[in-house]
Amino acid sequence: MYDQKTFGFKQLYLKLVFEQMLQDIPINHDFELIYEFIKSFGTELTAVNIKPMDKSSLKCNNYWLLGIIPKLTSLKSLTLMLHESIYNNADFFKFLQKSFQYFEKNGGKLHNIGFNLA
Amino acid sequence: MAKVLGPNKNIQDLAGILDGNHGCLNSQVENTLQQEIFKINDVENFIQYYQALGLKIVNNDKELNDRLVKAVKSSRQKGYHGQECDENMPDPVDLSQQRLQASLKEFATLKVSKEELSGNPDDPQTDSEIEGPKTKYKYHCKEMKYKDSFKNASETEWKALCIKHYEFIAHQLTTNKNSKMSAADLAKQYDWDENNYLNCTRAKATERYDVLRNKVIAMRGQEETLALRQSTLA
């Protein structure tokens, strides 16, 4: 998942900043910042953890998955950290599936996908 | 839930127990719940409080102080409290922007514009009685690119940034034990912490249940429901 030769402190820093941005979306709703970040530094994002967001704080419901995952074309490993309230949420998985379809269409190729069930 | 019902149980199991017993908990669960509540009443200080939550036990006052200061900072940053009682406290959106921009501006140049939002009378968040006539802003990032000084930055410079902005990295790399950890190892550790430390896994729940069971046996002599009920009532 993290190659000792290719995954350096640059990749680590960008990964941590990106995950912080995702975590802050329910607070700041700033998708423009995330899109610009992916446009400029997306090639360095090879392994990312994604946590589902509180839908009630977002107007876009689970649509954010479609806005972000297809743009991360350098992604090789994705871990979804799911909690109990998501297990039976068919809507979340529907958007996730669609986002993977667009991801593939954009040239993305995942090597690893993890589901961490808390 | 895990403490009272035991491991491998979830909200559906609880609903099943209630449905199967005319909306009442069975004696065993009721007793365990009571024992857990008694323990809450016994908590007298923050050391016991963290212990009761199953978090890492603090060893001295300094550690406890650091943890409490961190908890208040984190809570404030996330906007959990303080809005009603502190009018001058920055908006959580502004705090989030400040936090993110502090991390980004170290290595990138950003073009960000600020749009003033007009208040919506239907929006409860802009109710002037609660928050006062505070101006809210929306931020628009138009461009982001590497700073000239960071275009060809070395691994050491990125490492310094990681240490500066992330406490867990600073802790690992500045202690003698793990000072040679690689970025890949740190990422693995971060993922592990995110997955296991903040969430209660089944293994962790089992471990906590075993600890609880041993404590009940130590306290009450046995863990049978009838004996527990009698000792609870007594």
Alpha carbon of B226: minimum distance to chain A alpha carbons (Å): 33
Pick the residue with more confidence: B221 or B162?
B162
Alpha carbon of A29: minimum distance to chain B alpha carbons (Å): 9
Do A13 and A46 meet the contact criterion of CB atoms below 8 Å apart? no
Residues β-bridged to residue B108: B146
Residue B31: pLDDT above 80? Answer: yes
ipTM value of the model? 0.90
pLDDT tens digits for range B107-162: 999 888 888 876 554 444 444 444 445 677 788 888 899 998 888 899 999 999 99
Across the interface, do A33 and B162 touch by the CB < 8 Å criterion?
A: no
pTM of full prediction above 0.80: no
Q: Work out the pLDDT band at B209, boundaries 50, 70, 90.
A: low
Of B75-79, B160-164, B185-189, the least confident? B75-79
Across the interface, do A40 and B144 touch by the CB < 8 Å criterion?
A: yes
Per residue, the 3-state secondary structure of chain B, as one string, reads CHHHHCCCCCHHHHHHHHHCCCCCCCHHHHHHHHHHHHHHHHCCCHHHHHHHHCCCCCCCHHHHHHHHHHHHHHHHHCCCCCCCCCCCCCCHHHHHHHHHHHHHCCCEEEEEEEEEECCCCCCHHHCHHHHCCCCEEEEEEEEEEECHHHCCCCHHHHHHHHHHHCHHHHHHHHCCCCCCCCHHHHHHHHHHHHHHHCCCCHHHHHHHHHHHHHHHHHHHCCCCHHHHHHHHHC
Across the interface, do A4 and B184 touch by the CB < 8 Å criterion?
A: yes
CA-based nearest residue in chain B for residue A7: B184
- pLDDT (0 to 100) of residue B105: 92
- Regions of chain A where pLDDT drops below 70: 84-88, 118
Selected for mutation to probe chain B from A6, A13, A25, A77 (highest B CB count within 10 Å) is A13
